[in-house]
Amino acid sequence: MQPPQPRPEDYSLKETTPCLGGFMAAGDKRTSTYDLVEQMPYLYVRAVKAKDLRAKDGSGSCDPSVEIKLGNYRCTTRQFEKNTNPEWNQIFAFPKECIQSSYIEITVKDKDDIIGRVIFDLSEVPKRVPPDSPLAPEWYRLEGRKEGRVGELMLAVWMGSQADEAFPEAWHADAATVPSDGLASIRSKVYLTPKLWYLRVNVIEAQDLVPSDKCRYPEVYVKATLGNQSLRTRISASKSVNPMWNEDLMFVAAEPFEEHLILSVEDRIAPNKDEVLGKACIPLQNVDRRPDHRPVHSRWCNLEKHIAGDGEQKKKDVKFSSRIHLRISLDGGYHVLDESAHYSSDLRATEKQLWKPSIGVLELGILNAQGLLAMKTKDGNGTTDSYCVAKYGHKWVRTRTIIDSFSPKWNEQYTWDVYDPCTVITVGVFDNCHLQGEKSKGNKDSRIGKVRIRLSTLESGRVYTHSYPLIILLPTGVKKMGEVQLAVRFTCYSLVNMMQLYSQPLLPKMHYVYPLSVTQLDVLRLQATHMVSTKLSRAEPPLTKEVVEYMLDVDSHMWSMRKSKANFFRIMKVSTPLVGAAQWFDKICEWKNPLTTVLIHLLFIILVTFPELILPTVSLYMFLIGVWFYRWRPRQPPHMDTRLSHAETSNPDEFDEEFDTFPTSRAHDVVRMRYDRLRSIAGRVQTVVGDLATQGSAATGFHLLPSTSSGGYRRKRTACCETVPCQVTSECFPALATALHGWNLKCADNFSSRIVIFRCMLI
């Protein structure tokens, strides 16, 4: 009997029907901004302060703290030393669904001794629903074990929900095991990324340099440093004391501009040995801001003499007249890319004057997760302390961490302004590894998975409630870590304004008027992501570097065999309609279907006779195609397809290569094997490109044939183009001939051979 086959993972998107809206009780619907999440009732207790506390031993001094007891829950405020009028101002939240008592007991203690207590009946606790103002705290007399005045306690007790302003700052009952220094890492927060600028430094020339060795021609270059970014110009070709460069250097700068631009003019006096001829420090606050492509005014900056040494020698006044000619600007007409261009959430220019009004609002409700896997071990058992991070534009949000739960419920709602529908919101789920405060320093939050939703696929005003699978790629293969349930609504203010955006370029105008190279964009994007991660890691609670890099896809540019396969098949799928149209046209030319050919010729004659009908005919044809395919339109947002991404079909060695570090950390024989495999693939690509070049030149009557003398290619004019494919295939391109034989196609079939060229990569 064969062992049962493991069930394949379900990676599909599932539509759900959660109970959304502001319901506090059955039949009691209130107005609430949290209409995309399920309402979660909480009992809030705010311990503000106490006065005139009396110590049990009669010494007149006590070390007070407040203990709150509710059924099985017990929590305590911080303790003051020798203070009879302490102020705590701490808030505690207890989920109503877990309350197993009809009363709540609040006790003031002097270390382990009870000073007095206050008891509340839960049925008498008032309800508060925003936008009502917060409940005002009141003084309550403490009841001691003995008669007499023992002090008063200021409290506020009310029933609320997660929409309450106290929710983010409250100490939650499920976090009883978290130490006080780890509480900050479990709270929900909103983060704003810094405003990023492209800093352009155009180094023009320098004058009156003073090299140490005047008997040689100086080899001078300029080194520019901004924070951890460092770039340099080429060595000046003039090789004189008045060198010229006229070269641009690009940096990423973040507001507020705390770092200065350091320019250093250096002379290459020997291999790996440079001499500093002068330095200049330029504060970025004084740099001109350029909103368009018009150049800014250049400036001359004096160079300070660089003196090696310490103490008094460094303070000497040195007469030095060298200077450097620069043109520096903060280019606000660009959008600083800090995420992949395919999944960008913001396309606005840096300069705020170039922003257009928002076209709508995006609302996200992070409901819950189901079936999460254990991410770590605690007390011998697997556990997960999960939280969500959502990013759109400059605004990042982080939900509360749910302690020790494989089915956490967050039910938190957030809102963003939308300026372009061709953008993507990213939601990631992580396991919190910083709950122990100082003891957990150095730990990294584990990735559970992430979800991307493209706004252009959403209907305006419709609420989408789906359960998204959390899929993560591991060195062992693709794995489903659970599911996260989200509610999304995109509301457009004006359909006309949104349609107008589709007629405009995706990026700001500067990207097309004064474009940056691909290499520049890659380097600048890495610098931008580093600045964003540094900024967010300094917040409280911090968004750690690994979280920011995972959300921004920092390693997306690394080589991957799986991604290469997926991209190739995507190109093939995109080209399929074009190939189909070419086949249809080929059949018309060969009169495969006489009726269709006659009708097409009649249409052609009509359009030649009446050219004013060309545009209406094309528009009518496109309209009819849209109407025909309307019934097959997608009903839900697209999600990750593991088959399209080849995440399920790749072998373990390809996954190991994808997760390898750069430079590689694998053994030499493994690297050699992968290099040989890459050479083999590159050889096939080279063959296909050569076949494409030959077939392309065949259309013009010229063909590249192998040269018998040098093994290269020679150019030959042929009289009959019909015999060329057979000659080219059999003599010049054996790989193509093998492909033709494998696909059972005729060598003389000129059109079919062109199609097979695109499939040669699969062999």
Kindly report, residue by residue over 202-226, the tens digit of the pLDDT.
Answer: 999 999 888 888 888 889 999 999 9
pLDDT classification of 701: cutoffs 50, 70, 90: low
CB-CB contact of 397 with 191 (8 Å): yes
Whether 742 has a pLDDT exceeding 60, the answer reads no
In terms of DSSP H, where are the helices of 482-555?
A: 495-502, 510-513, 518-537, 545-552
**pLDDT confidence of residue 373:** 92
Most confident of 302-306, 311-315, 465-469: 465-469
The C-alpha atoms of residue 108 and residue 54 are separated, in whole angstroms, by: 11
Q: Please provide the distance, in angstroms rounded to a whole number, between the alpha carbons at the two ends of the chain.
A: 38
User: In the predicted model, what is the mean pLDDT of residues 76-98?
Assistant: 86
Share of the chain above pLDDT 70, in %: 85
566 CB-near residues (< 8 Å, 6+ apart): 644, 645, 646
State the pLDDT confidence band at 2, using cuts at 50, 70 and 90. Answer: very low
* pLDDT the model gives residue 54: 78
| pLDDT of the residue at 702 | 46
Asked whether this chain's domains 196-307+320-331 and 362-552 adopt the same fold, the reply is: yes
pLDDT confidence of 724, banded at 50, 70, 90?
A: very low
The pLDDT confidence band at residue 495, using thresholds 50, 70 and 90, is confident
pLDDT average, residue stretch 639-645:
78
Give yes or no for residue 307 having a pLDDT over 80: no
pTM over 0.85: no
Superfamily per CATH, domain 362-552: C2 domain (2.60.40.150)
Tell me if residue 49 falls in helix, strand or coil. strand
Rounded to whole angstroms, how far apart are CA atoms 130 and 146?
41
Does residue 8 have a pLDDT over 70? Answer: no
If you average pLDDT over residues 451-476, what whole number do you get? Answer: 91
Strand partners, 398: 189, 389
pLDDT over 80 (residue 441): no
Q: Which of 121, 130, 13 is nearest to 70 (CA)?
A: 121
Task: Report the alpha-carbon distance of residue 517 to residue 537 in Å, rounded.
Answer: 30
Min mean pLDDT across 161-165, 242-246, 640-644 is at 640-644
pLDDT for residue 748 is more than 90: no
Per-residue pLDDT tens for 366-423? 999 999 999 988 878 889 999 999 999 999 999 999 998 999 999 999 999 999 999 9
Query: Contact at 8 Å (CB) between 254 and 534?
Result: no
Least confident of 376-385, 511-520, 723-732: 723-732
Q: Residue 599 belongs to what H/E stretch?
A: helix 594-609
Give the pLDDT confidence score for residue 308 in this predicted structure. 54
Q: Please name every residue paired with 330 in a beta bridge, in sequence order, or none if there are none.
A: 199, 289
According to the model, what pLDDT value does residue 9 have? Answer: 66
What average pLDDT score do residues 477-504 get?
Answer: 90
pLDDT of residue 755: 39
**CATH code for residues 41-187:** 2.60.40.150
Please check whether residue 691 is in contact with residue 733, taking contact to mean a CB–CB distance below 8 angstroms: yes
pLDDT above 90 covers a percentage of the chain that reads: 35
Which pLDDT belongs to residue 239?
Answer: 84
Nearest to 537 by CA among 527, 526, 548: 548
| Residue range 93-137, pLDDT digits in tens | 988 888 888 889 999 888 878 888 899 998 889 988 777 888 899
What residues contact 143, with CB distance under 8 A and at least 6 apart?
A: 116, 117, 118, 119, 150
Of the pLDDT bands very low, low, confident and very high (cuts 50, 70, 90), residue 327 is: very high
- Half-sphere exposure for 183 (CA within 13 Å, toward CB): 17
pLDDT of residue 722: 35
pLDDT over threshold 50, residue 536: yes
Element (H, E) at 696: helix 668-698
**Predicted local distance difference test score (pLDDT) of residue 397:** 95
Of 41-50, 94-103, 304-313, 455-464, give the lowest mean pLDDT range. 304-313
Q: Is domain 196-307+320-331 given the CATH code 2.60.40.150 in the classification?
A: yes
Query: What pLDDT score does 248 carry?
Result: 93
Please tell me the predicted confidence (pLDDT) of residue 561.
Answer: 84
Cα–Cα distance, 703 to 724 (Å, whole number): 8
Q: Which residue blocks in 225-322 are alpha helix, DSSP H?
A: none
Beta strand segments in 475-616, E: 477-492
Task: Output the pLDDT for position 435.
Answer: 85
Q: How confident is the model at residue 33 (pLDDT cuts 50, 70, 90)?
A: low
Query: Residue 364 in contact with residue 414, Cβ under 8 Å?
Result: yes
Task: Delimit the domains of the chain by residue range.
Answer: 41-187, 196-307+320-331, 362-552, 561-674
Residue 526 has what pLDDT?
Answer: 92
Amino acid 716: pLDDT? 37
The stretch 156-179 carries a mean pLDDT of 84
596: amino acid identity, one letter: T
